[in-house]
Structure 1
C-alpha cells in the first residue's frame, strides 16, 4: 500500500474543515456538529466507517429538517443507508409534498435519482 510507504497521505475527496472535524471526533469521541456541515460530515463518516459520528450527524440533520433541505437529506440518507433518517424524511416530505416539490433540492433529486421521486409519488 502506498500509505504505508509514503510520508504524507493526500486526501482529496474531503474538505479540510470536514477532515479536521473527523479527526477531532476520532481523538476526543465528541463533536458538536454544526448544522451547516452535518451532511458533509455525515457522508465522510460513512465513507470512513465512523458509525457513531454518522448517527450524530443524522440526528443533527433530522433536527434541521425543513422544506428547503428535505429532498437533499432524503437523497443523502438513501445513498448512505440511514434508514431511520430516510423514513423520517419520507414522512416529512409526504406531509409537506406541495411545498417540497417546489424546491431546488427536489428538482436536483429528480435529476440525479428519479427513483426516489417515484417512490414518493407511489406513497402519496
Structure 2
C-alpha cells in the first residue's frame, strides 16, 4: 500500500518485511501535516505497529518553524507526530537526516521532549 500527496510525502507499508517506509520533502504547512496524519492513520490501521519498524527518510525535509502562510508553529505539529509514533509503539524508529544537520539536531531534541526512546536519528 502506498500513498503520496503532491510529492510532499510518501508512505509505503511493506507487510512482508514489517516496515512502514515514510519520506517527507520540502516544507510542511498545517494542511500538509493534516493530510500526512490522515494517510498515516489509514495505511497503518490494518497492522499492529508494535510489530513494525518505522523508517523515515528526512533527507529532503526542511527544518520546521512557523508556517509563513498561517503562522502556525510547525515544530509543535512535528512534536505531535513524534508523540503519535511513540503511542503506536513501533518496535524501532529510524529517522535518516543524512547531510541535514540542523534537522537532525531538531529531531533529536524533539524526540527527547516527546519521550521517544526507540528512535534513532542518523
Structure possessing the higher radius of gyration over alpha carbons: 1
TM exceeds 0.5? no
Which interval holds the TM-score relative to the shorter structure? 0.3 to 0.5
TM-score of the two chains, using structure 2 as the length reference: 0.38
Higher relative contact order (CA 8 A, sep 6+): 2
In proportion to residue count, which structure has more helix? Answer: 1
In proportion to residue count, which structure has more strand? Answer: 2
